[in-house]
Amino acid sequence: MVESVQVELDELYALSTAILTRSGFSGAHAAAISEMLSTCQIDDCQSHGLFRLLMCCQTMRGGKIDGHILPVVEASDSAIVRVDARGGMSLLAVEAGMPLLIEKTRSYGIAAMAINRCFHFSALWPEVEQLSAAGLAGLAMVPSHSWVAPAGGKRGTLGTNPLAFSWPRQNQTPFTFDFATSGFARGEIELYLRAGKPLPEGVAVDAEGNPTTDPQAALDGAMLTFGGYKGSALSIMIELMAGPLIDDLTSMESMAFAEGTGGAPYHGEIILAFDPDHFSGGRVADNDARAERLFADILDQGARLPSQRRFEARARNTARGYVEMPAALHAELTAMLD
Ligand code: NDP
Ligand code: PYC
């Protein structure tokens, strides 16, 4: 049983910005990263909440990131928004390009944002939910480091490659999912290691290619994709769409770029956006109702929608004014300010 502490919501952002600025990030980067981390922590996303401060600081120590550089949004007259993060963390680049992505999606019906040359550590759901909050559907994907074996293989070639989707709903939280295409996110395996818990079967193989439930052996060996060859194919698609398609690195190339320095992977990101108004021929209300009947039939069976746990956590934590986080993590983070 992991001992937990209660941390007030205001402390999350303050602790995060203090750690990041001390580590070498500018105020602007620290603010964007802290917004992401505290938003995730409030939704009880433990693997990509304040835990990821450790990865951000490791990235800075690795010496390859520029903690002050500002992204540049490139001019274009097409439906593609290109943002050059110029070797900084991804989040300011998303912030810089998102208004233009929304504007272009409303003009063309479909648009895409390609972010290049970014270090990337974060969850994707806050990004696609900016699109659904604007009444658009959004799909985002990134590669990472080559920790994951393809189906039938034993060696890391693919990244943990998350895929996130959000669909806008009237007067409701959106339909959103966001998951690694590996059986477990790497961050989740790291949390199992810290908690001294064995992994479920089928998540990883050790360095010799034998199945393992030992988190350290999994980190030293290769992770496996979810759903066998199906997850593997999705993961390869993400490598292609957020790599060669947008002129950026694959997970293998990101790993090589890191030269063993650890920290966040370095690559690109693609976010696709769709405007239902353009596709529905003016029958938006009908189509909204059809989507709602789909959700209702799922819920009627006692199943839950993705992100429901997260939305409930947000409501609970916001109402009580604090989150629960592992005591050891909180102690480690506060000690970084000593
Ligand atoms: P999870 O396995 O925790 O959750 C995946 C999704 O499935 C969530 O939307 C979740 O909703 C939903 N879900 C879980 N259980 C159910 C259920 N029983 N019924 C319906 N839906 C369900 O995610 P991962 O551990 O794979 O990923 C965690 C985070 O890590 C993601 O935010 C991802 O973006 C991030 N990540 C980032 C990477 C990067 O390179 N930047 C790499 C890999 C991962 P809910 O949250 O409500 O449980
Ligand atoms: O948890 O797999 C992961 C991950 C990779 C990069 C950031 N998080």
Query: Strands, DSSP E only, in the chain?
Result: 4-8, 72-74, 80-89, 110-119, 137-141, 148-149, 163-167, 175-179, 204-205, 211-212, 222-224, 266-274, 322-326
Nearest to 144 by CA among 19, 262, 306, 310: 262
pLDDT score, position 158: 98
Residue 31 sits in a domain whose CATH number is: 3.30.1370.60
Residues 166 and 125: beta-carbon distance below 8 Å? yes
Ligand 2 atom closest to the Cα of residue 265 is 6
**Sheet bearing 148-149, strands edge to edge:** 148-149, 222-224, 204-205, 211-212
Angle (nearest 5°) at CA 273 between 270 and 276: 165
pLDDT score, position 280: 85
Domain span at 9:
4-183+225-283+306-335
Phi, psi of 40 (to 5 degrees): -70, -40
* Residues 180, 266: Cα–Cα separation, whole Å: 17
Ligand 1 atom closest to the Cα of residue 180 is 26
- Both tokens of residue 275? 């405007």
Is 295 domain-assigned? no
Ligand 1 atom closest to the Cα of residue 179 is 26
* 67 C-alpha to ligand 2 centroid (Å): 19
* 286 C-alpha to ligand 2 centroid (Å): 39
ipTM over 0.95: yes
* Residues 121, 198: Cα–Cα separation, whole Å: 24
Ligand 1 atom closest to the Cα of residue 309 is 47
pLDDT score, position 68: 98
Q: Of the residues 94, 309, 312, which should be mutated to test ligand 1's pocket, given the most ligand atoms within 8 Å of the CB?
A: 309
Is 195 domain-assigned? no
Residues 166 and 128: beta-carbon distance below 8 Å? yes
Nearest to 39 by CA among 25, 52, 26: 52
Could you say which ligand is closest to the alpha carbon of residue 184?
Answer: 1
* Residues 81, 15: Cα–Cα separation, whole Å: 33
* 179 C-alpha to ligand 1 centroid (Å): 4
Is 217 domain-assigned? no
Ligand 1 atom closest to the Cα of residue 43 is 46
Is 329 domain-assigned? yes
pLDDT digits (tens, 9 = 90+) for 183-199: 999 999 999 999 999 99
**Cβ of 125 below 6 Å from ligand 1:** yes
Is 293 domain-assigned? no
* 178 C-alpha to ligand 1 centroid (Å): 5
Q: Of the residues 40, 45, 50, 55, which should be mutated to test ligand 2's pocket, given the most ligand atoms within 8 Å of the CB?
A: 55
Angle (nearest 5°) at CA 53 between 52 and 58: 100
pLDDT score, position 277: 93
**Cβ of 200 below 6 Å from ligand 1:** no
pLDDT score, position 327: 96
Which positions of the chain have pLDDT values less than 50?
Answer: none
* Residues 35, 261: Cα–Cα separation, whole Å: 26
* 126 C-alpha to ligand 2 centroid (Å): 15
Q: How many domains does the chain have?
A: 1
Could you say which ligand is closest to the alpha carbon of residue 124?
Answer: 1
Nearest to 120 by CA among 188, 178, 52, 63: 52
Residues 117 and 84: beta-carbon distance below 8 Å? yes
pLDDT score, position 297: 98
| 238, 240, 245, 251: CA torsion to nearest 10 | 80
Is 216 domain-assigned? no
Residues 188 and 147: beta-carbon distance below 8 Å? no
Is 210 domain-assigned? no
Query: Which residues' Cβ are closer than 6 Å to ligand 2?
Result: 47, 121, 144, 160, 180, 185-187, 265
Nearest residue by C-alpha to atom 6 in ligand 2: 121
Residues annotated catalytic, as ranges: 47-48, 188
Number of Cβ atoms within 10 Å of the Cβ of 87: 16
Name the DSSP letter for residue 225.
B
**Cβ of 160 below 6 Å from ligand 1:** yes
- Both tokens of residue 268? 């690109």
Is 208 domain-assigned? no
Nearest residue by C-alpha to atom 40 in ligand 1: 144
**3-class DSSP string for 244-256:** HHHCCCCHHHHHH
pLDDT score, position 333: 98
pLDDT digits (tens, 9 = 90+) for 84-141: 999 999 999 999 999 999 999 999 999 999 999 999 999 999 999 999 999 999 999 9
Nearest residue by C-alpha to atom 25 in ligand 1: 185
